Amino acid sequence: MITKLWLKDFRNFGEVLLDFKGKSNVFIYGENNQGKTNFLESIFFLGNGSSHRESKNENLVRFDTALSYIGLEVSKDDQKHKVYFKILKDGKRLGTFNQQLLNST
């Protein structure tokens, strides 16, 4: 279960910290162009290391910023796992899983 999601300069988000602890269902709604799909895209990226709709990582970084950070905390069987990615404007990405470096590109 996802317990926390953190976004900084990802797509149209400035800095957002969402805490899902104690919530079994989350409903995402809002006007057009408010970030609903970007929110889901960030979760997909954290699970797969790439976007489901964008082939260039540099397009995931918020306009006029040099890099983006996204992070996720997951709880399973009373264990917590953390995934973080730093996406650079040149398209490179650095990821960690439980503070261990993942393959970078």
Report mean pLDDT in 10-residue bins for the chain, 105 residues. 95 94 82 92 94 93 96 93 96 94 76
The pLDDT of residue 104 is 62
Q: Comparing C-alpha atoms, which of 44, 40, 46, 51 is closest to residue 95?
A: 46
The pLDDT of residue 26 is 81
The pLDDT of residue 105 is 59
C-alpha 104/C-alpha 52 separation (Å) is: 18
C-alpha 36/C-alpha 27 separation (Å) is: 10
The pLDDT of residue 82 is 96
The pLDDT of residue 60 is 96
Q: What 3-state DSSP class applies to 40?
A: helix
Q: Comparing C-alpha atoms, which of 105, 90, 89 is closest to residue 10?
A: 89
- What the block records as the tokens of 63 is 């306009």
Q: Comparing C-alpha atoms, which of 12, 53, 2, 19 is closest to residue 36?
A: 12
